[in-house]
């Protein structure tokens, strides 16, 4: 049975003494990670008059970040307070590296959001997590009952616990296994026809071709003009690979695209450029056997636009569900309406927020 417990009051109580250290000027404070969360934190601390001694990054030779000195973990005094902003993929690794240096005064950016949501911006892809889980417990219980194996059920319990409570300890059961993503639960046959929605740089398609050299065709979609060119160049020597400069959606239109977030770029109300969207049902005119969707929050709309392909050919699907919390339950409901015989498997491929994939077999 699916269940989630509100652990936030307990987390706040356990870390109350660390929150107090935030405002103790005698305690040196460091931010671990060089990313958007670190930048947001520097701005928030500046507004609140909290001094930052430096940035921790064990994987760079840069000496400065946003004007602050950059240190290695081994250089940090054990009495310091460290706020971890490594949230996307290697959260647990970051915490272990601090623990190995006997640095025990540690908060995560998640902790600060729980502590003071007004002053610390919400984590990307987590804006409505708690509300959706609270409101739709029956939907999550339904999903739990539909999952095909025990690993999927345990993955759902751990991921929803993490996304509801922001409890980093929960993620200790996961590791970073990005190379396995999209392919580790499927069996492939000859003459596969693959649709790659959200190609970014073409690497997923290249991995598919390596695993399936006798494929029939590949259709690749990447709306970012820059990444479209990168993808097209990366795949130029492969036969029967068709690269399209479109965003997949549930209608054909011209819309804004935020092109400044690298692999997280996507459709936006205020994007920096405009792109064309298409429905897969209007473009693909052959039997499809496998579809992968990582389109930064428009997975549901893409599937609506592929209704006839899915109903007709019942392809295997790998769908990212971490961009919007409600996708955990509304995407399987949609696809089971298209094909009630799908088996559902859930896997997670990092130690943080990113890369939760739902498979339909």
* Distance in angstroms (rounded) separating the CA atoms of residues 219 and 105: 50
Structure confidence at residue 1 as a pLDDT band (50, 70, 90): confident
Would you state the pLDDT for residue 272? 73
DSSP state of 54: E
CATH of domain 7-115: 3.40.50.20
Q: What is the 3-state secondary structure (H, E, C) of 132-144?
A: HHHHCHHHHHHHH
Residue entry with tokens 């993620």? 171
Q: Is 339 left (phi over 0), alpha (psi -120 to 50) or beta?
A: beta
Dig out the tokens for 126 from the structure. 């987590």
Dig out the tokens for 164 from the structure. 């509801």
- Which uninterrupted H or E stretch holds 244? strand 241-244
Q: Is 229 left (phi over 0), alpha (psi -120 to 50) or beta?
A: alpha
Does the pLDDT of residue 85 top 80, yes or no? Answer: yes
* Distance in angstroms (rounded) separating the CA atoms of residues 136 and 149: 22
Question: Going by DSSP bridges, is the β-strand pair 247-248/273-278 parallel, antiparallel, or unpaired?
Answer: parallel
Q: pLDDT for 212-265, tens place per residue?
A: 999 999 999 999 999 999 999 999 999 999 999 999 999 999 988 775 655 454
Angstrom CA distances, 110 to 85, 121, 201, 279, stand at 8, 10, 30, 37
% of the chain residues with pLDDT over 70: 96
> What is the average pLDDT across 149-177?
98
Q: pLDDT for 40-49, tens place per residue?
A: 999 999 999 9
Would you state the pLDDT for residue 262? 53
Give the sign of the dihedral formed by CA 32, CA 37, CA 39, CA 44: negative
Q: Spell out the domain ranges in the chain.
A: 7-115, 141-360
Q: Which of 39-43, 171-175, 212-216, 268-272 has the lowest mean pLDDT?
A: 268-272
Does the pLDDT of residue 210 top 50, yes or no? Answer: yes
Would you state the pLDDT for residue 128? 93
What is the value of pTM for the model shown?
Answer: 0.94
CATH of domain 141-360: 3.40.50.150
198's CB contacts (< 8 A; 6+ apart) are: 221, 222, 248, 292, 293, 294, 295, 296
Dig out the tokens for 214 from the structure. 């006798």
1-5 own/partner pairs: CB under 8 Å, 24+ apart: 1/141, 1/144, 2/137, 2/140, 2/141, 2/143, 2/144, 2/156, 2/157, 2/160, 3/157, 4/133, 4/137, 4/140, 4/157, 4/160, 4/161, 4/164, 4/165, 5/161, 5/165
Would you state the pLDDT for residue 266? 54
Identical fold, 7-115 and 141-360: yes
Does the pLDDT of residue 77 top 90, yes or no? Answer: yes
Nearest CA among 175, 135, 137, 138 for reference residue 155: 175
Nearest CA among 232, 214, 212 for reference residue 223: 232
Would you state the pLDDT for residue 61? 95
Q: pLDDT for 93-125, tens place per residue?
A: 999 999 999 999 999 999 999 999 999 999 999
Mean pLDDT of the chain: 95
Does the pLDDT of residue 268 top 70, yes or no? Answer: no
Would you state the pLDDT for residue 263? 45
Q: pLDDT for 303-344, tens place per residue?
A: 999 999 999 999 999 999 999 999 999 999 999 999 999 999
């Amino acid at each position: 049975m699916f269940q989630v417990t509100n652990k936030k009051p307990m987390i706040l109580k356990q870390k109350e003494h660390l929150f107090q250290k935030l405002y103790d000027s005698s305690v040196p404070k460091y931010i671990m990670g060089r990313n958007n969360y670190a930048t947001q934190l520097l701005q928030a601390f500046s507004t609140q008059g909290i001094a930052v001694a430096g940035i921790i990054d064990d994987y760079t030779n840069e000496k400065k970040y946003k004007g602050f000195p950059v240190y290695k973990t081994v250089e940090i005094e054990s009495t310091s307070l460290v706020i971890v902003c490594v949230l996307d993929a290697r959260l647990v690794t970051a915490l272990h590296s601090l623990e190995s240096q006997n640095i025990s005064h540690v908060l995560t950016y998640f902790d600060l959001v729980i502590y003071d949501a007004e002053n610390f911006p919400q984590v990307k892809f987590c804006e409505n997590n708690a509300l959706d889980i609270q409101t739709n417990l029956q939907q999550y219980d339904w999903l739990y009952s539909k999952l095909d194996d025990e690993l999927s059920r345990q993955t759902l319990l751990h991921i929803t616990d993490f996304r509801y409570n922001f409890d980093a300890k929960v993620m200790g059961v996961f590791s970073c296994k990005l190379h396995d993503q999209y392919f580790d639960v499927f069996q492939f046959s000859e003459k596969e026809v693959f649709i790659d929605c959200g190609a970014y740089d073409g690497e997923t398609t290249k991995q598919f071709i390596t695993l399936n050299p006798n494929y029939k065709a590949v259709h690749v979609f990447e709306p970012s003009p820059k990444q479209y060119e990168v993808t097209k160049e990366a795949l130029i020597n492969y036969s029967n690979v068709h690269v399209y400069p479109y965003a997949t959606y549930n209608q054909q239109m011209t819309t804004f695209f935020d092109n400044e977030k690298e692999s997280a770029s996507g459709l936006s109300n205020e994007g920096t450029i405009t792109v064309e969207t298409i429905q897969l049902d209007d473009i693909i005119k052959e039997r499809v056997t496998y579809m992968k969707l990582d389109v930064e929050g428009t997975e549901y709309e893409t599937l609506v636009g592929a209704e006839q392909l899915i109903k007709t050919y019942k392809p295997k699907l790998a769908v990212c569900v971490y961009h919007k919390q409600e996708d955990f339950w509304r995407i399987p409901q949609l696809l089971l309406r298209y094909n009630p015989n799908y088996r559902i498997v859930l896997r997670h491929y990092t130690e943080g927020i990113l890369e939760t994939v739902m498979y339909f077999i």
